[in-house]
Homo-oligomer: A and B are copies of this chain.
Amino acid sequence: MSSPAPQTLPADSSESVSVEALAADCKEAARELSTLSTDTKNRVLHRMADELEASEDGILAANETDMEGGREDNLSDALLDRLLLTPERIEKMADALRDVASFSDPVGEMRGTRKRPSGIEVAKMRIPLGVIGMIYEARPNVTADAAGLCFKAGNAILLRGGSNAFHSNQAIAAALHRALDDEGVNPAAVTLIPTTDRDAVQEMLTLNDHIDLIIPRGGEGLIRFVDETSRIPVIKHYKGVCHLYVDRAADLEIAEDLLLDGKVSRPSVCNALETLLVHEDAAEDFLPRVKELLDDAGVELRGDAQTRAILDDVGEATEDDYAAEYLGLTLAARVVGSDDAAMAHITEYGSNHTEVIVSDRLPAARRFVRSVDASVVLVNASSRFSDGGELGLGAEIGISTTKLQAYGPMGLEALTTEKFVVYGEGETRHEVEK
């Protein structure tokens, strides 16, 4: 199915390129990719990794151009750090591609084979989605990471990176194209839109005949814009307001560990904790000992009246606090009278992302697991495990807090779907008269 005609690489195209034409090429490439053997896909992924490493000088030079532009644009230090590539970061990108090669290939998996009363044999076969549209901001590593995951799942990818990372993304995409081309795979399988024109995103979001799924990665503003504009299904999450609920029968040592790991180890990520809920029977014991640990870690605590009755020197938690994704060293706290009250709080303020209960009572744990509507629900384990790698997906291309197609961290399987396959021996549904 492969051996494509040599073609102009998208990265070489002029600024006046038609996004629709690129997407059409992508769709054609997706058709070829859907039947590539696992061996071929893995060989290409290793070749991509090698090409990235071989292109280090060129990628670093392109990145320096972007960094200069970023400094001229007065990007914050945090954004400049996201934009920056180093030899180590390029090696990490290459290793990530080699990791993806080691993951098992979901395409072609069969399940649920059954013989029906009519005589036909029915099964479901896992197949790629087709064309994934990726819209992202500063981090150039997304170009390689997302391309690798989509490719392994048999999908073509249409990439629209941030304008600040334009040259870096072009250099990375060019390396990936060389790998595809060398292995005889249609290079349009990985297509970077070669323009910083904002209209290109608008156009991309209307191409529902060519693109099967849009994944935006970036700030809430970008994601809302994409979600409100797109005629193509969007998989997204806005934020993670994650709770730790300490039940009345909790192991308080474990509760301390999970709170510190969840709040302190990396407060800027979406699976960090924002709010502590404590059963009133545990509050007198737990709150004073945890307050000390939080103070030592530099975490500011804000609480409801019951929390403040137990602890001195704690500010008031407002409605805004309970709704906040702090992304920093602040923690809201609330004392609750029952498991139901804890779950009601989570229903009201949670973001369907990640929720944790600490409890030794099996019925309470099982009820929390069944009832709490979040993409990842944990019992006696840290919220920070809500991550594709930690959950065993290999890597993740994004997180979904909506329930269609995927809920939670998305790995290779979430980039596929299933079709029905039927084998028969001439069965008809009605008797045929001839």
Contact = CB atoms under 8 A, between A and B. Distances in A.
Contact of A378 (B293, B422, B433): B422
Contacts of A404: 129, 212-213, 233, 404-405, 417
A82 interface: no
A106 to B, nearest CB: 12
A261 B391 contact: no
A407 B403 contact: no
A233 to B, nearest CB: 5
Interface stretch (A52-60, A97-105, A116-124, A162-170): A116-124
A429 interface: yes
B375 A425 contact: no
Contacts of A390: 116, 118, 120, 429
15 contacts: A1-B371, A31-B347, A212-B404, A228-B231, A251-B426, A254-B425, A256-B432, A256-B434, A260-B432, A265-B430, A375-B419, A376-B422, A378-B421, A379-B421, A380-B427
A385 B120 contact: yes
Contact of A421 (B127, B256, B369): B369
A424 B1 CA distance: 47
A338 to B, nearest CB: 13
Interface string A249-275: 001011011101100011000000000
A377 interface: yes
Interface in A394-434: 402-409, 417-430, 432-434
Interface residues of A, number: 76
Interface string A344-380: 0001000000000000000001000111011111111
A425 B254 CA distance: 8
A363 to B, nearest CB: 13
B427 A381 contact: yes
Contact of A392 (B114, B251, B253, B418): B114
Nearest to A382: B428
The copy count of this chain in the complex is 2
Given A116-B390, A392-B114, A434-B293, A382 B429 contact: yes
A125 interface: yes
A146 to B, nearest CB: 18
Interface string A151-179: 00000000000000000000000000000
B35 A375 contact: no
A434 B375 CA distance: 30
A148 interface: no
Interface in A207-251: 212-213, 228, 231, 233, 251
Given A125-B369, A257-B426, A370-B108, A212 B420 contact: no
Given A390-B116, A429-B261, A31 B373 contact: yes
A102 B392 CA distance: 35
Given A365-B423, A379-B424, 10 more contacts: A116-B392, A129-B404, A260-B433, A261-B429, A265-B430, A266-B430, A377-B421, A378-B422, A380-B425, A380-B427
A114, A391, A433 interface centre (most CB from chain B within 10 Å): A391
Interface in A285-310: 293
